[in-house]
Structure 1
């Protein structure tokens, strides 16, 4: 259905939100009140969607997230199926809170563990949860011992923009290969915390200058909206055989192609769990109608 409407023939990665439930209530979480919702993929539904994406869109990788994927009961089964049965690259994006036992269980089938952090020590814990900083570093240490490649993500806010560089240096000591920096968007919980927004865009220029001169071993990639001029437009493709990097499935089955549309109910496509097919459900505010640009990432 996606190819018939848009011309997209290949989608490299599926971002699969297994559930809304989470053991955190981060101040900037785009899910907002949905963290309390019970929507989730069953194991069969997750397996079916992964198979459909591999067969119809040549999807070669999956990132499992939530909510918090490590509180998903059947995480190991989904990881094993994606890796062993479909041959996909498997990544998990997690808060890293007390995941050591389950991480050890899935380590043989995991290609990348990506842990979310929002600064050093209390800066992180104030935004995320008390004790989460030490727990995340412990998870990274276990990953290093298990031989699992590790990455990290950080959403840049007014509270932590000065800690990006110190965090990058700390992560290097835990074998983290890449730090991915996101721009805060005022949806979900972030809409209730406007004080987190960076209102002085020149702060992004100073951040880039510090990172460029730091001679870090860790790779830093960042959302190009983290700049004074903002990101260049990269609208979703339409017409003709094309490829896109990713599509995101939320726990209800809503499919979103632009990161900038995630959390806004701007989806034009829907994975119907009962019939195991993708439906087109256009609206006046969907991401195709509004030509919502996708996020553009660059390297420091």
Structure 2
């Protein structure tokens, strides 16, 4: 269906949101009120969608997301099934210490364990919940000890810009393989907190200078919207030569091609759980009709 309508013949990564439910309600979460929704992928749905994307679109990897994916009751089975299909398996989690046993249980099935960290303790906890930074660092250390390649993601806000470099240094010391920086989108919970937005984008130039001068050896990957240079018109058609780097599936089945469109309910495609196939449901304001560009990631300079 993706190939017939928009010419997508290959997809590298599926971001699979297993459920909306989460043990946090972060101030910048793009899900917003959906955190209370009961929707989720049943295990049979997970298996069907992974099979479809691997067989039809030569899928290479899956990242399990939520909500909080470690709350998903079948997370172990989902990870094992993905590995059996020959996929690279990643998970992105808030890494609460209460998930210690689940992390241990899925370790052998993971190619990457990615933790959401939004600054050092004070700023991270202000966005998420008290004690969550210390808890996440404990689980980072656990994952490293278990031999899992470990990464971190950080949503850059006007409140935590100054924490990027010291956080990167701390994570590098603890054996983390990379830090990925995301640009804040004012959707979901973030829409009620516009103070989080970096209104003076000139601050990004200072951020890049700080990264370049920090002597980091750990890669820092960033959303090009955080670039000090003008964004330009990149990926305006979302697809290049039939190759799509990533697609995101939400718990209701919505398939979103552009990461900038996630959380905005503008998907033109949906995974039909009943018939185990992709269906096309175009709208006047869907991501293709209005040409929402995809996120482009780049590497910051490291020594």
TM-score by length of 2: 0.96
Q: C-alpha separation between the residues in 1 aligned to 2:24 and 2:229? A: 33
1:88 aligns with 2:92: no
Q: C-alpha separation between the residues in 2 aligned to 1:237 and 1:123? A: 34
Residues 153 and 180, structure 2, Cα contact 8 Å, conserved in 1: yes
SS at match of 1:274: coil
SS at match of 2:38: coil
Q: C-alpha separation between the residues in 2 aligned to 1:104 and 1:46? A: 21
Q: C-alpha separation between the residues in 2 aligned to 1:119 and 1:95? A: 13
1:121 aligns with 2:121: yes
Aligned to 1:26: 26
Over residues 81-128 of structure 1, what are the superposed CA-to-partner deviations in whole Å (9 max), with x where a residue is unaligned?
Answer: 0002x0100000000112211111011110000000011012100101
SS at match of 1:49: helix
How far residue 217 of structure 1 moved from its aligned partner, in angstroms, is 1.7
Residues 18 and 65, structure 1, Cα contact 8 Å, conserved in 2: yes
SS at match of 1:251: coil
Q: Which runs of 4+ in 1 moved over 2 A?
A: 227-233
Aligned to 2:133: 133
Q: C-alpha separation between the residues in 2 aligned to 1:261 and 1:119? A: 25
1:236 aligns with 2:237: yes
How far residue 73 of structure 1 moved from its aligned partner, in angstroms, is 0.6
How far residue 227 of structure 1 moved from its aligned partner, in angstroms, is 2.9
Aligned to 1:265: 265
Aligned residues: 298
Q: Which runs of 5+ in 1 are unaligned?
A: none
SS at match of 1:56: helix
Residues 269 and 280, structure 2, Cα contact 8 Å, conserved in 1: yes
SS at match of 1:91: strand
Moved more, 289-298 or 246-255: 289-298
TM-score by length of 1: 0.97
Q: C-alpha separation between the residues in 2 aligned to 1:62 and 1:235? A: 24
Q: Which runs of 5+ in 2 are unaligned?
A: none
